[in-house]
Amino acid sequence: MIEIVSAERCTACNICVHACPTNVFDAVPGGPPRIARQADCQTCFMCELYCPADALYVAPSADRPDATAVETAPRVQALMGSYRSSIGWGSGRTATAKRDSSFELLERAH
Amino acid sequence: MAVHDLHVLSGADASVRHDADVLVIGGGPAGTWAAVSAAARGARVLLTDKGYCGTSGATAPSGTGVWHVPRDAAAREKAKASRLEMGGFLAEHAWMDRVLEQTWVNIDTLTEWGYPFPVDENGQLRRTSLQGPDYMRLMRKAAKRAGARILDHSPVLELLVDDRGAVCGAYGINRQSGSTWIARAGAVVLATGGCAFLSRALGCNVLTGDGYLLGAEVGAQLSGMEFSNAYGLGPAFASVTKSLFYNWASFYDRDGRRIEGAGSSRGRGVIAKTLATQPVYACLDRADEQVRAWMRTAQPNFFVPFDRQGIDPFTQHFPVTLRLEGTVRGTGGLHVVDESCATTVAGLYAAGDAATRELICGAFTGGGSHNAAWAMSSGFWAGAGAATFARDARAFSHRRAHRTATVGLGEDAAQVWDPDEVIRAVQAEVFPTGRNWTRSGALLEDSLGRLDAWWTRVRRGRPAAGGVQVVRAREAAAMLATSRWMYRSALQRTETRGMHRRAEHPALDPAQHHRLVSGGLDEIWVRAQAVPTPAIPGAFGGRAAA
């Protein structure tokens, strides 16, 4: 579930407020969006992909909040933006869809 | 349905009014293809999504295979034959042929639009899979470029019908601003996805059967609702129910002993059975270095939970679970009656997982690839059909519009119900594998007793919450209605066929080689309907899927 909106990194662009398919965030005038409905988060990681500032962190736990997911943890710092990087979104990157090797696996799966 | 007793909609009933030729409800693959296709026929298109078109639905956060087969007769025959038996011979050659062809054409279109398909070592484009985030970002752009207007975070609360019962728009709410809206349209496409009962399977929590309820309230029929018990396999702690890679997994008990017979596809029943009494662990220990490398670029999302949890899935045992994906990976949905994916109601079309996929998959899921092919094909046809219908139904904007919701929007009833309580009650009946993976007459009746009682309460009462919370109330009602169509259909099919398994009827019954069409709200009806042109007619005695 979504755990972190980094006040340090967030530019208050509110893209996540629009992009979240389950409407988890509320915009806050002049500041970072608020996680208003964490229980509605479906842990799809889409907000991270759409955040141009890598200011969001979605913990892997789908059914309950994760109290250990705090911004100051070095482990979390290292993971923020990692999924966006791995699919090649963001300026100066190339979408890794171009290197999608699913066809190799689909041929061997069954 | 009886139009005369419906509430007539007046302009004062909503704060914003939109006019369109075609209203598309749902902005996943089926909805966006419908929007593109309708706009290409000159229709003014309005697309509404409960969430955000581009991230909403099961496809966007995933990767998906695509049932993309070259224009080669032998290759296509082989592709069609591969799942006929698993599907209990309920698919039809003609529908499979047209889906394969339309998918081929649409994938060419995606290539022209710049989707970055990979190239293999021989320089050939490989187009049998799509990365969800890239695909759906592109589809949103394509819909907008085609001229469709998109309303995000704008769930539909009910459909509108004219004096003759033809669908002529919808009434909804913007769940961020709280303002209500009316869209008047010449025709409507339901592309709302299936129903996964808020199980938190990847991308599935927007898929609450909304379109089934909207459709049934105007008299639309469903088909194959017994084929609704797909469970996605994934790490117990995570949402990522992507199961392809478990073909390279072994399954273990808590002491590290191999669980014999457990597997991702044919052995999933063993996993379900074992999970009923003890935890099950997986390890992708059958993947060699090459396969591991391919996995990383094939599905980056697969690794996100592991990387964040600090688990190496190739060497460590991790707990797995089965999350209900219902009709998202099942095949049941709205009954379509012609090649334009029209429902039985004038002006109403269905596409993607909102529609039945029995036509190409029969009684067993084709997995993501068939669903992806069906979504882009049925969306394309439904959009075109709706555009044609709207053109023929000129002057629609002058028709009187009637509201059609039967539950969740009442304000004056004395009895109050809590949407979250209804949702938990429905989940308690449909989540357990002991009730839903393998069904039995006794437990189906047992569940239906409670579900029907809830329906009566919900029907007569009003939801506790107001404002935008009415959206959750309608979702609760849709899931409740869906569970009743599911279990009534499952009760009627006294055999095991495809994914529908009956404990006391473990074999396929040749006498039940038919579809089960269902409908109704207070009184649910189910009736057998012959498969018009069954593939391999009379080829019975096949083994049902495990």
Is the Cβ pair B61, A45 closer than 8 Å?
A: yes
Pairing of strands B222-223, B514-519: antiparallel
Predicted pLDDT of residue B540: 39
Give pLDDT tens digits along chain A (110 positions). 999 999 999 999 999 999 999 999 999 999 999 999 999 999 999 999 999 999 999 999 999 999 999 999 999 999 999 999 999 999 999 999 999 999 999 988 86
- Rounded-to-integer distance, Cα B335 and Cα B433, Å: 27
Question: What whole-number distance in Å separates Cα of residue B367 and Cα of residue B331?
Answer: 10
Average pLDDT over residues B282-288: 97
- Using the Cβ of A110 and the Cβ atoms of chain B, whether some distance falls under 8 Å is answered with yes
Question: Are A23 and B51 inside 8 Å of each other by CB?
Answer: yes
ipTM score for this prediction: 0.98
Contact A60 B175 (CB under 8 A): no
Helix, strand and coil content of chain A, in percent to the nearest 5, comes to 35, 15, 55
What pLDDT score does A58 carry? 98
Instruction: Determine contact: A15 vs chain B, CB below 8 A.
Output: no
Confidence of residue B392 (pLDDT cuts 50, 70, 90): confident
pLDDT at residue B488 in the model? 98
pLDDT tens-place string over residues B229-272? 999 999 999 999 988 999 999 999 999 999 999 998 889 999 99
Partners of residue A106 in chain B, C-beta under 8 Å: 65, 128-129, 244, 369
Any CB–CB contact under 8 A between A83 and chain B?
yes
Cut 0.80: pTM above it = yes
Domains annotated for chain B, with CATH where assigned, are: 11-65+131-228+327-357+368-403 (3.50.50.60), 230-326 (3.90.700.10), 416-507 (1.20.58.100)
Q: What is the pLDDT of residue B5?
A: 44
- Contact between B126 and A103 using a beta-carbon 8 Å cutoff: yes
Write down the pLDDT at residue B400.
87
Instruction: Test B301 with A45 for CB contact under 8 angstroms.
Output: yes
Q: Name residue, tokens 């009946």.
A: B429
CB contact under 8 A, A100 and B131: yes
> Mean pLDDT throughout B57-65?
94
Per-residue model confidence (pLDDT) at position B10: 67
pLDDT at residue number B2: 40
What is d(CA B445, CA B465) in angstroms, rounded to the nearest whole number? 31
A:23-62 residues touching chain B, CB 8 A cutoff: 23, 40, 42-46, 49-50, 59-62
Domains along chain A? 2-109 (3.30.70)
Chain B residues with CB under 8 Å of A61 CB are 237-238
Query: Between vectors from CA A105 to CA A100 and to CA A109, what angle results, nearest 5°?
Result: 155
Binary contact (A95, B131; C-beta < 8 A)? yes
Contacts A66 to B, Cβ<8 Å: none
Which are the contacts of B485, defined by CB distance < 8 A and separation ≥ 6? B212, B216, B222, B225, B332, B518, B519, B524
Give the tens place of pLDDT for each residue, B332-373.
999 999 999 999 999 999 999 999 999 999 999 877 799 999
| C-beta of residue B431 within 8 angstroms of C-beta of residue B197 | yes
What pLDDT, in 10s, does the model give residues B179-235? Answer: 999 999 999 999 999 999 999 999 999 999 999 999 999 999 999 999 999 999 999
pLDDT of B141 above 60 = yes
Is pLDDT at B14 greater than 90 in this prediction? no
Distance CA A18, CA A32 (A): 13
Residue-wise pLDDT for B431-456, tens only, equals 999 999 999 999 999 999 999 999 99
For residue B11, what pLDDT band results from cuts at 50, 70 and 90? low
Using alpha carbons, select from B349, B31, B48, B60 the residue that is nearest to residue B205: B60
The per-residue pLDDT for B398 is: 66
Q: Which positions in chain B touch A42 (Cβ < 8 Å)?
A: 200, 202-206, 239
User: Which of B55, B65, B200 faces A19 most closely, judged by CB atoms?
Assistant: B55
The candidate with the shortest Cα–Cα distance to B351, out of B168, B520, B147, B194, is: B194
Instruction: Say if the Cβ atoms of A46 and B55 lie within 8 Å.
Output: yes
pLDDT 10s digits, B145-155: 999 999 999 99
The answer to whether the CB of B288 falls within 8 A of the CB of B156 is no
Per-chain mean pLDDT for chain B: 93
* The pair of three-digit structure tokens given for residue B417, joined into one six-digit string: 């119900």
pLDDT score of B397 more than 80: no
Res. B82 pLDDT band, cuts 50 70 90: confident
